[in-house]
Amino acid sequence: MRKFSLVEFSVDYPKAVVAILMVITMLFMTQFTKIKTDTNPKNMLPAASDVRVWNDEVEKTFNLYEDTLVVGVVNEKGILNSDTLGKIQRITGEILRLKGVAATDVSSFTTIDNIEVENDALRVSTLMTALPKNDIEIEHLRKMLFENPLFVNRIISKDGKTAAIYIPLQKGANGKEIADAIRQIVKKEGGGEKYYIAGDPVARDTFGVDMFKLMGILAPIAGMVMFLVRYLMFRDMFLSMALMMDAMISIVWSMGLLIGLGFPIHIMSSMAPVFLMAIATDSMHIFNEFYFRYKETGNKRLAIIETMAAVSKPVRSTALATAAGFAVLLFMNIVPVQVFGGLVAFGTIILRVLSFTFVPAMFALVKEEKLKKISQTEEADLGKTSQFLKKLAGVGMRRPAETVIVGLIFFVAAIVGVTKITVNNNLVEWFKKGSEVRAADTVINQALGGTATGYIVATAKEDDYIKTPAAMRYIEGLQRRLETLPVVGKTMSVVDYVKRINRVLHNDDTSYDVVPERKDIIGQYLFLFSMSAKPSDLDNVVDYPFRRANLWVQLKTWDAGAMRDVIKAVEEYKKANPSPMEIKPSGIAYFNMVWNDEVVGDMVKGFVIALVVVFIILAYNFHSIKWAVVGYTPLLFTILLIYGVVGFVGKDFDMPISVLSCLSLGMAVDFAIHFVSRFRQRFKESGDLNETLLWTAARPGKGIVRNAILFASAFSVMLFAPLTPYISVGAFIVTMMMLSSLLTILYLPALIVLTKDWLLKGGNGESEQSV
């Protein structure tokens, strides 16, 4: 009984195959109506992770909000004038009425509590209950602002030119939507003031919206560029559409499955279509070989079957290597990393299934006269591209030692560059310089304490310990230590309230701006304050058994490294000043640091494991450890050279760059698999090393170069995106494709010639050392 052939079935029944695939595609598309997005960084980590549990506990203990926006009001002539203050009053009033704003805890001139003495009694009241009517009242407001350390660098800058409104958000509120509403509010105010809106929820939710807009814009543009380049290569509209449809079907199936299973689209999974479009270009090797075969045979059916027979092994092997590289991520700890790995691995498998069904079927549907016209240009001996590739390979063949030595020099330099890589994520810097989000963050960070917030929580073993002078002085000392860090703009704790109360109760004598000597006095101060102030004032900095204190740290950057510097300083302080209290970090800045480290760490760990897995696949595919080593070289060199440049130019190794490592692994090894597999096939037939190398460079090599140019040209459109991760993706992929194809055509022939006595013992391309 004849063995069933999927390729032959697709060639014999092309319309049925295409129809079946289209029906399945439509079924997956029905899931798109259920799409959900998730840009909350908290969900990068499992709900039961230590950092999430601890952060939730701290937020509950100190009545804190997960997200806070900051509105900066800038007047170069000074904030303290009736006109600007009136605008702040009106803007604050309208903000308080916005849906999603935690109105009771908004901090502004018109809502923040001020500590004073009236008739020898402590009085806590709103800083600006009414708009100042004259210069005397403005000067009184100036005095209250600048003599209170709780206000300076928080709601007003030291130079008096910038004021801030801090807006905590209710759980589930969308930062971008509220920011847009505030922009409409401030737009109504005329004058020379400038307004800036910053904070993690603004950056996060704006990025989420822009990300999906860009995917909707750039993916089709990239697809159209691929279509155009593919058409210019082969001058065939129908098959050019087939290649684009190949990628689109895989994307629809993969994203449809993801959505259908109930997973939200996260930042990482949103990049999957880009990756699948890259991997889909491997079909170019089938197109490339088909036209050569058709020119030789003149029989369409025979050419399709011979083509698939010739390229089936490398196509399957590249798919296996790429899918395995991404599938390794399924075994990591971070859910979005797992989802991303599984999503791209599934899409890669679908692409290879389509290579043996959809692609042959589309070839079968093309008219013979078109194929004859196109195939006339496919000649390994006469074509300009083939001749150029022969010359390029010839350089490596004639000067193998010099070629390898030059490569090794670059290899060593790249290793030095890799050692300079800094692991860091900064969501704000995912926007271009000059963008509204980044400009706002920069202005507010320069003028005030900072838009990023971290907490340092001190926990005692017994109740009321926080009221002791020893605990208060310890926390104060820690504040002064942290304020020496360049990344820290301001700190705030219960100590600042106690010192302020002590001073105002002693006729504003600056010598009393200290922690009292007795625990009962501290307790009395805190009791008096709690009776008059908003509950949240003390709730945010101390718990009511007085066992825990929360030290606020405002950071001038969202760099993950900033919180790492804070933690290092805390550890040094603890070592130099032992205390019975336990000191632990918390807050959004700390959480961002942890997920940065864990996600990037997961990606790096997965990448290293994938490197091993891919080598095993190469050894299995080639049945030779020696050929696996040779085929592995372009992959290793490409990755190291690119990441070496990342290190030298000072580009942060962030989440987008770490994600790209998996793609670089898959794409770089694909070219080597095609080159080595076809070389060994040809060498068995001819036995002539030089002829085989030149043929491989001219014929399969043409497919490699076409693949590289096709994909690099398509994804060069990302260089013009407004979000820097997309620019990174574009630059990375363009460089990777061109570099890996160059190394394959130039460096592999040099390696093979240089090691021919080791590789070709037996004369047929098979090594004696097999697996």
Q: H or E stretch including 704?
A: helix 700-715
pTM of the entire predicted model: 0.80
Count of all residues that appear for the chain in the document: 771
Q: Residue 256 has what pLDDT?
A: 93
**Superfamily of segment(s) 1-34+235-378:** Multidrug efflux transporter AcrB transmembrane domain (1.20.1640.10)
Q: Residue 254 has what pLDDT?
A: 93
pLDDT in tens, 15-70: 999 999 999 999 999 999 888 877 676 777 777 888 889 999 999 999 998 889 99
Q: Which of 723, 728, 715 is nearest to 218 (CA)?
A: 715
Residue 623 region, left (φ>0) first, then alpha (ψ -120 to 50), else beta? Answer: left
- HEC string of 38-59 equals CCCHHHHCCCCCHHHHHHHHHH
Q: Extract the tokens encoding 71.
A: 């509105």
Domain ranges of the chain: 1-34+235-378, 61-204, 436-593
pLDDT in tens, 489-527: 999 999 999 999 999 999 888 899 999 999 999 999 999
> What is the identity of the amino acid at 211?
M
Helix (H, G, I), strand (E, B) or coil at 307: helix
Q: Residue 16 has what pLDDT?
A: 94
* HSE of 109, CA atoms in CB hemisphere, 13 A: 30
* HSE of 344, CA atoms in CB hemisphere, 13 A: 33
Please state, in angstroms and rounded to a whole number, the distance separating the CA atoms of residues 193 and 79: 9
Q: Residue 762 has what pLDDT?
A: 54
Q: Is CATH 3.30.70.1320 what the domain over 61-204 is classified as, yes or no?
A: yes
Residues of the chain with pLDDT > 90, as a percent, come to: 41
Q: Which of 271, 249, 201, 252 is nearest to 655 (CA)?
A: 271
pLDDT in tens, 244-270: 788 889 999 999 999 999 888 877 787
Q: Which of 423, 420, 424 is nearest to 559 (CA)?
A: 424
Contacts of 230 (CB under 8 A, 6+ apart): 239, 240, 243, 244, 284, 710
Per-residue pLDDT band at 734 (split at 50, 70, 90) = confident
331-340, 408-417, 431-440 — which is least confidently predicted? 331-340
Per-residue pLDDT band at 767 (split at 50, 70, 90) = very low
